């Protein structure tokens, strides 16, 4: 398991916002990217880091309501 600080560091390095990378306690091998429409470069960056750390990247596209 990677802690929140590590995941936030990776997120910022990949051009994401804090909290957009999540590793759930129940599925430790999955690295979740929760973002509306991540770019190809962001996906590649997250995928490479996940692979190097023995994780599988999962991309969750969520449309957040505006308001």
> CB neighbours (10 Å) of residue 14?
21
Q: Distance between CA atoms of 20 and 61, rounded to whole angstroms?
A: 11
* pLDDT tens per residue across span 20-55: 999 988 999 999 999 988 999 999 999 999 999 999
Is there a contact between 9 and 37 (Cβ–Cβ < 8 Å)?
no
Phi, psi angle pair for 39, to nearest 5°: -75, 165
Comparison of pLDDT for 63 and 26, the residue scoring more = 26
Q: Distance between CA atoms of 53 and 47, rounded to whole angstroms?
A: 10
Q: Distance between CA atoms of 25 and 2, rounded to whole angstroms?
A: 10
Segment 2-23 mean pLDDT:
95
């Amino acid at each position: 398991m990677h802690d929140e600080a590590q995941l936030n560091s990776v997120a910022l390095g990949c051009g994401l916002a804090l909290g957009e990378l999540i590793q759930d306690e129940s599925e430790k091998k999955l690295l979740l990217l929760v973002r509306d429409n991540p770019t190809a470069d962001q996906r590649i960056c997250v995928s490479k880091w996940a692979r190097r750390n023995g994780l599988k990247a999962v991309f969750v596209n969520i449309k957040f309501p505006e308001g």
